[in-house]
Structure 1
Amino acid sequence: MQVPIDFISVPNAPKCDGALYIRGDSMYPILKAGDIACYKVIQDKNNVRFGEIYILDIDDGDDQYLTVKYIQKSDISDEYFKLVSQNISHNPKEEKRSNIRMMAIVKLWIRYNTIS
């Protein structure tokens, strides 16, 4: 259950369920640390649009983490997704679909460009 702490209004934006700040550099230069990613939760893992950017809540037994990656078809089987970073210093990873607790497609992102 999510409780909004504030709202973002973006003209002509698609419907979104929430937003979060990006941390890390796996999707650099498309998404940078501090950007705000607005997302729409996907209920059915079979409705994935391969090649799009997703936010994934993963629990693989040893660790639980939130990550932002491209999802591609797996080379192993249909029970896996291939998670790919934009940053080439991060290797692709095959992840079992059953380990993904929640997934959301990134609909838009907001970047602050300020002069200080």
Structure 2
Amino acid sequence: MRRDVFQAIADPTRRDIIHLLAGNPQNLNSIADNFDISRPAVSKHIKILTECGLILIKTEGRERYCHVSLGGLKQVADWTNQYRAFWNEKLDTLGHFLESEKKQKRKK
């Protein structure tokens, strides 16, 4: 099954793992220590994040360290940016409406 970055960030545990690794690389055991789920479950999340290119695993001696690779999140940013103009317009319209309501109340 081919996975994409949207599937990766859809799960809150995977988002938490990304956030955890954004601070510094960690080995698999130290990542698992931060969650109240089994180590195999954490490994499955790491596998999905690796398949999506959001985590790189590097072997250093006998340890395997996970490094975050946030370049893949550009795809999410690009997708959400296409809606930025839409929402800015809607929020500007709402702001103008609220201002006019406020002025109407002052006149009364």
| TM-score, with structure 2 as normaliser | 0.22
| TM-score, with structure 1 as normaliser | 0.21
Higher-Rg member (1/2): 2
The structure richer in strand per residue is 1
